[in-house]
Amino acid sequence: MFFSDNCGTSGDDSLSKNQAFAAAKQRQNINQDFPLRGFVNCAACDRPMTAGWSKGRTARYPYYICQTKGCSEHRKSVRKEAMEGDFRALLVELTPVPELLGMARKMLSRLWDAQHKRHASSALDAKSKAQALAQKSEAVMQRLMDADDPKLVNVYEKQIVKLKGERRLLLEKAKNPVPQQAGFEQLYRTACPFLSNPCKYGIQEFWSTKNCS
Ligand SMILES: [Zn+2]
């Protein structure tokens, strides 16, 4: 018998608080037991595999399994040890040589710089457009002061409200902080140990990563 991990995800409002808590706890446990659950895809249908425990006569056995109906591998299971062993081997293969890491750093730094420039240019552009809107708003205000026709007054008032709204949005865009180079250094320092030696980190790291996203 296979125990699916489809626990407490139905969104059923009739679940009591205790049941919801128990379901959440069960979900957390299954994530800890199967860190690659939802992270590895079935070789046949390319859909994320799920995981669970099968019950033998004297013990329970952990498996990853494809639950996609119609898939040729539907309900064919892979032992947890085999799946995670293969994954570790893959991580070893992924370990980059230092030259490659240096190249990746340069590329990422260039991308960061380009993004920084785009961001700064966009903020300047927003500031300039906000100034133009302020002048336009001032001109409409002047026409409003000179207008006698109530219909025209109404039109000008609406225009001013609209222009002020647009200007406020542009000023918010102009105020957004521009990411600094120091931000890249910090990001890279955090990512570098993992990128340079992914197999050093346990598979549980992937479970943590999944929960950060
Ligand atoms: Zn499949």
Q: What distance in angstroms lies between residue 76's CA and the mean position of ligand 1's atoms? A: 9
Q: What distance in angstroms lies between residue 29's CA and the mean position of ligand 1's atoms? A: 24
Window from 3-12, 13-22, 49-58, 101-110 with minimum mean pLDDT: 3-12
Q: Are residues 26 and 77 in the same domain?
A: yes
Tally of domains in the chain: 2
- On whether the pTM is more than 0.75, the answer is no
The percentage of residues in the chain with a pLDDT greater than 90, rounded to a whole number, is: 39
Q: What distance in angstroms lies between residue 55's CA and the mean position of ligand 1's atoms? A: 22
Protein residues within 5 Å, CB atom, of ion ligand 1:
42, 44-45, 66, 68, 71, 73
**Cα 82 off chain centre by:** 29
Q: Are residues 86 and 9 in the same domain?
A: yes
Write the pLDDT tens digit of every residue in 75-130.
999 999 999 999 888 888 877 788 888 888 888 888 888 888 888 889 899 999 99
Q: Are residues 90 and 157 in the same domain?
A: no
| Residue 78 included in any domain | yes
Q: What distance in angstroms lies between residue 21's CA and the mean position of ligand 1's atoms? A: 31
Domain interval for residue 41: 2-95+207-212
> Half-sphere exposure of residue 147, counting CA atoms within 13 Å on the CB side?
15
Q: What distance in angstroms lies between residue 179's CA and the mean position of ligand 1's atoms? A: 42
Q: What distance in angstroms lies between residue 63's CA and the mean position of ligand 1's atoms? A: 14
Write the pLDDT tens digit of every residue in 19-35.
777 777 767 677 788 98
Q: Are residues 19 and 31 in the same domain?
A: yes
**Cα 129 off chain centre by:** 32
